[in-house]
Structure 1
Amino acid sequence: MTDQYASFAALAAREIEGVHYRIRFATRPSPIAIVTPHGGWIEPGASEATIAIAGEVLSFYCFESLTRRARGDGLHITSTRFDEPQAMQLVQGSDIVVGVHGRKNGDDDASVWVGGLHEPLRDAIAAALRDSGFHAKSVGEGHPLSGRDPANICNRGRQGAGVQLELPMALRLRLKDDPDGRHLFAAAVRLALSRF
């Protein structure tokens, strides 16, 4: 996806908070933060998954587009360049960051593509999702969205290594409308996180 804006400052100079976008977050006494820089209409369902994973215990952050836009005219800022100040403060104050993203269905409309530099946690989350009945592929199992760039928002926590979850559109929309499924998904991710 081609970004219209190269930074949050560029976006904020033209877009109005509360009209075009909103930011939701909670800082909790946890070393883990769950974040989506692409919530709302950017990648529908990503915010709901983020908040469900965080539950009442983990910190979370959602940047959300409030308006549906034509292709190429969105508020998407690539996760390696996403630099909204509140997000950066939360991420840099957390040991581990899990980034929740959406992807196109493509040839695989069921699998969560799990990436990031924290390889043990990455693999544990993929295994926990599979154990809970979800499809999940870790890097090396046939997906291209590795989340391994050190500048990726998931890798900017204090450990310098986090996890990226890429949910296909079909799964995001299903979880958005299925509270039980969303709870099961979130519980699987939290179970893996609890071991780290």
Structure 2
Amino acid sequence: MSGSEKSEELSGSGESEELNGSGEMEELNGSGEMEELSGSGESEELCGSGESKEQRVSGEIEEQSGSGESEELRGSGESEELCGSRKSENEELRGSGEREVLSGSGESEELSGSGKIVELEGSGESEELCGSGESEQQRGSEESEELIRSGESEELRADRESEELTGSRERKEVSGSAKSEE
């Protein structure tokens, strides 16, 4: 696509991604730009000139690459899933693992500005998509911790109750033996 063509058609959505006309490299998060993916169709800021790519975040699947991989963007703070599996995969917006060519001079689009790859779910962390900033995994772990704590407290209570019961029995036996000695 030549530098004079300024829109890249996204798959099936009819939305367009504005590109720099001079074909410079487009960087996300590298020079202070913000990537905003929130719950009601806000835009992802690209480059300093304020062009935006409209994201669908109502549970629809946006096709990002030619290999049929899909990126689900759900506006409820859930973690972003790539390629249909929950493994720690690198986020790639390219068709076959190669960089997406944006202009006739062969420059490429990079994420995170310095060539770093955004890790998703690799170390228990997830990409935050909305204001709540919590992921399903984090919520699930908090709930499981609460259940474990409540289970432990129930076990402690049961132990205390059994100790109290055995203690009262021992007291009864001691008082009974004292009476028999008398």
**What TM-score, normalized by structure 1, do the two folds share?**
0.28
Which structure shows the bigger proportion of residues in helix conformation? 1
Structure with higher Rg: it is 2
More strand by share: 1
Structure with the greater relative contact order (CA < 8 A, sep ≥ 6): 1 or 2? 1
